[in-house]
């Protein structure tokens, strides 16, 4: 593949989104939410609940970034999102329960193919995380995902959530490389769009087999898994 060959010649850093790209956020949170919702007697689907939770969190984090005020911690955004979804679903809850659900994010496990794929990529590139998570959440997560990234960067240093351009430019500055030497890897189109528009190269991990969408900021690579990415680039 010509695009992959060109990337191999030009990039020195592979930078990853963590939640949903490295670790299985949907699957992991469904596993946590299922017994909780069953104990509450809620008749809905745990998968729908988690999707509702994540969409609310995303919407609220985008609002926070657009306000241009002091960055609100990811954990705080999460508490608000979960409490809102529980209230809309008519599920009685306490804030301790809300905090426990959000706290599960720190213990998420990687997708099965990710550790081996990243080990292959590490033989050729620096591996870096750029996540919307709070610094302490990302630090705690290391013992659960077990992947030895060269650097783990929280968007808190840029005072905004991705896909704000400041998050990608600050991350490249911290790593000490030009933007075009970074391949940003994500399972989310919005994150690839943000990184590409900021000047990075991008790879879209299309695990869910969904169209990327119409945008001038198309990814340089679209692959079905992290294994496929490693096969092309390592």
Final residue of a domain: which of 81, 107, 133? 107
Contact 198, 182 (CB under 8 A): no
Domain identity same for 227 and 135: yes
Dihedral over Cα of 22, 153, 80, 103: its sign = positive
- Same structural domain, 77 and 124: no
Q: What is the pTM of this model?
A: 0.96
The answer to whether residues 45 and 76 belong to one domain is: yes
Tens digits of per-residue pLDDT, 32-87? 999 999 999 999 999 999 999 999 999 999 999 999 899 999 999 999 999 999 99
- Tell me, what's the pLDDT at 1? 65
> Please, what is the angle between helix 114-122 and helix 226-233, to 10°?
20
Question: Would you state the pLDDT for residue 230?
Answer: 98
167 and 223 belong to one structural domain: yes
Structural domain for 38, as ranges? 26-107
Tell me the pLDDT tens digit for each residue of 127-175.
999 999 999 999 999 999 999 999 999 999 999 999 999 999 999 999 9
Shared domain for 210 and 173, answered yes or no, is yes
Q: What is the pLDDT of residue 3?
A: 86
Backbone angles phi, psi at 95, to 5 degrees: -70, -25
Report residue 63: phi and psi, to 5°. Answer: -60, -45
Band of pLDDT at residue 219, cut at 50, 70 and 90: very high
Burial 29-53 (b: 16+ CB within 10 A, else e): bbebbeebbeeeebeeebeebbebb
Last residue of a domain, one of 54, 76, 107: 107
- Model pLDDT for residues 171-193, shown as the tens digit of each residue: 999 999 999 999 999 999 999 99
Same domain, 138 and 201: yes
Residues 162 and 130 in one domain: yes
Residues 117 and 157 placed together within one structural domain of the fold: yes
pLDDT at 2: 73
Domain identity same for 51 and 139: no
Q: Are residues 68 and 10 in the same domain?
A: no
Q: In the numeric block, which tokens belong to residue 56?
A: 């609310």
CATH of the domain at 159: 3.40.50.1000
Is 195 found in the same domain as 162? yes
Number of domains in the chain: 2
The DSSP result for the chain, as a single string, is -HHHHHHHHH--EEEE--BTTTB-HHHHHHHHHHHHHHHTT--S-HHHHHHHHHHHHHHHHHHHHHHTSSPPPHHHHHHHHHHHHHHHTT----HHHHHHHHHGGGGPPBPTTHHHHHHHHHTTSEEEEEESS-HHHHHHHHHHH----SEEEEGGGGTS-TTSHHHHHHHHHHHTS-GGGEEEEESSHHHHHHHHHHT-EEEEE-TT-----S-S---SEEESSHHHHHHHH-
Pair 78, 135 in one domain:
no
- End of a domain among 67, 88, 107? 107
């Amino acid at each position: 593949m010509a695009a992959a060959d060109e990337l191999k010649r030009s990039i020195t850093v592979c930078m990853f989104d963590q939640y949903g790209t490295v670790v299985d956020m949907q699957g992991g949170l469904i596993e946590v939410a299922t017994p909780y919702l069953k104990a509450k007697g809620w008749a809905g689907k745990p998968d729908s609940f988690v999707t509702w939770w994540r969409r609310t969190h995303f919407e609220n984090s985008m609002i926070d970034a657009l306000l241009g005020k002091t960055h609100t911690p990811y954990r705080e955004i999460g508490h608000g999102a979960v409490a809102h979804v529980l209230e809309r679903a008519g599920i009685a809850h306490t804030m301790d329960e809300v905090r426990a659900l959000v706290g599960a994010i720190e213990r998420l496990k990687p997708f099965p193919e990710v550790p081996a794929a990243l080990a292959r990529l590490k033989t050729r590139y620096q591996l870096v995380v750029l996540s919307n998570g709070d610094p302490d959440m990302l630090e705690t997560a290391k013992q659960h995902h077990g992947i030895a990234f060269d650097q783990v960067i929280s968007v808190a240093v840029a005072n905004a959530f991705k896909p704000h351009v400041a998050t990608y430019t600050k991350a490249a500055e911290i790593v000490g490389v030009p933007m075009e030497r970074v391949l940003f890897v994500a399972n989310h189109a919005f994150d690839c769009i943000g990184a590409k528009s900021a000047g990075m190269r991008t790879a879209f991990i299309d695990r869910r087999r969904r169209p990327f969408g119409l945008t001038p900021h198309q990814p340089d690579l679209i692959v079905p898994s992290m294994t496929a990415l490693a096969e092309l680039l390592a």
